[in-house]
Amino acid sequence: MPPPSDVELVTAWADMATYLTQHTPSNSPTFASRAFGYIGLTMYESVVQGYSGHQSVAPQLNGLGVLEKPENDKVYHWPLALNAGQAEILRSVYVQTSGANKKRVDSLEAAFEQRWKNEGIDREQFVRSIHYGKTIAREIFEWSKSDGGHRAYLKNFDKTLPVRSFPGSWKPPLYAQSFSHYPLHPHWGKNRCFLEANAATEAPVPLTYDTTPGSAYYEQFRQVYEKSKELTLLEKEAAIWWGDDPDLSFTPPGHSYSMGTIAIRQRKPDLITCAETYARLGIAVADAFRNCWKWKFQYFTERANTFIPEHIDSTWESFWPDPPFPAFPSGHAMQAAAAATVLTDLYGDKFPFADSSHVGKPEDPIRKVGFKARSFDSFWAAAEETANSRFYGGIHIPIDNEKGLEKGKEIGTNINRLKWKR
């Protein structure tokens, strides 16, 4: 076979990253978002020294510093370095994945190597390029160990966490995605952001608790209740499509990462733009989830499945089950907005595309709704539907989504402002 094209190479590794995310036990949206941050950054840093118009962003990140540089006057094969770096970072970040999955990574790495060997690349250049890609991956992984989220799948739920109870506080729901009565990764907001600017983002402010009918707080939940009684098929399909249950899919940040794959396959940019796409996306979803979790546990706000049965209709259940963590702001909305902001900066405001990520999955057996491809005119339109889907599902009130979109855009904008080019 001939050597892989740039697009084939990067999207094969992105597909492998989302595959491991879906098929690695005890994964979560929080841990997955972090993983994509390091995977995407490794892709970019493993090739950026080969492009005079671009520069490393490592010194601009929170405590990473200068990474290994290529030897002067030595020739490198940059796609080969990227191939080696992706295999190395995936094996490191997803060390807990199955033996079969590790063999998948090894096989993909070896298959691409063989296709370049067939081209007769100089052996010293071959070895040098592989060594460089792996060195970059190892340096980035070593940095990752100090962020607060290393091997966090071992401690998804903190059973020693004191129970906070106050009017409007989050309570473990009876109708939920998880059987745990403890919230997922309550300390995630203490983790290090990739960007100091994102760590300094000002917190959004939720509405003041008020059970009085007609109050701003009450009306938010009433809107959820009324919408649940008139959901259209299209709205149900949106709720199902963007659910991305971590037990059954590549998680919400994986869905956003796959948007980069859609853009790249459609636009077919050069290697450095492909790598920059995944780096920006990975950092976007990682910092979005970190900040979102900081604020979720700062405010510890309730969801509709506790407010509506107590104050509006005791028989009510949401269309989609509650996730095991507080509500405000919406993680779906926030990470989708961060991703849409970086993709829009790279590919433009108008980017018609279709998302067929879940096509072929069987109909949801409980809700009797199928997975149908979604079409959009822009990345921001997809982010807005992602946010709205949580309202349709009955697990977020409008302000959760509004503030999530707003703060996600701020996070993505900070990433766009990094000096990617010289």
pLDDT of residue 163: 81
Token pair belonging to 313: 């209709």
pLDDT digits (tens, 9 = 90+) for 70-101: 999 999 999 999 999 999 999 999 999 999 99
Domain boundaries, the chain: 6-144, 157-416
Q: What contacts 196, CB < 8 A, 6 or more positions away?
A: 62
The CATH number given to 157-416 is: 1.10.606.20
Sites in the chain below the pLDDT cut of 70: 175-180
Identical fold at 6-144 and 157-416?
no
User: What pLDDT, on a 0 to 100 scale, did the predictor assign at position 177?
Assistant: 62
Q: How many CB atoms lie within 10 A of CB 382?
A: 25
Residue 176, pLDDT score = 62
Q: State how far the Cα of 330 lies from the Cα of 292, in Å rounded to an integer.
A: 7
At 22, the amino acid letter reads Q
Nearest to 256 by CA among 188, 343, 377, 198: 343
DSSP secondary structure string for all residues of 155-172: GSB-TTPPPP--TTB---
As a whole number of angstroms, the distance between CA 3 and CA 264 comes to: 18
Residues with Cβ within 8 Å of residue 66, at least 6 apart in sequence: 56, 58, 59
Residue 67's pLDDT is 98
Rounded Cα distance between 373 and 122, Å, is 45
For residues 324 and 183, the answer to whether their CB atoms sit within 8 Å is yes
What per-residue confidence (pLDDT) applies to 379? 98
What's domain 6-144's superfamily in CATH?
Answer: Phosphatidic acid phosphatase type 2/haloperoxidase (1.20.144.10)
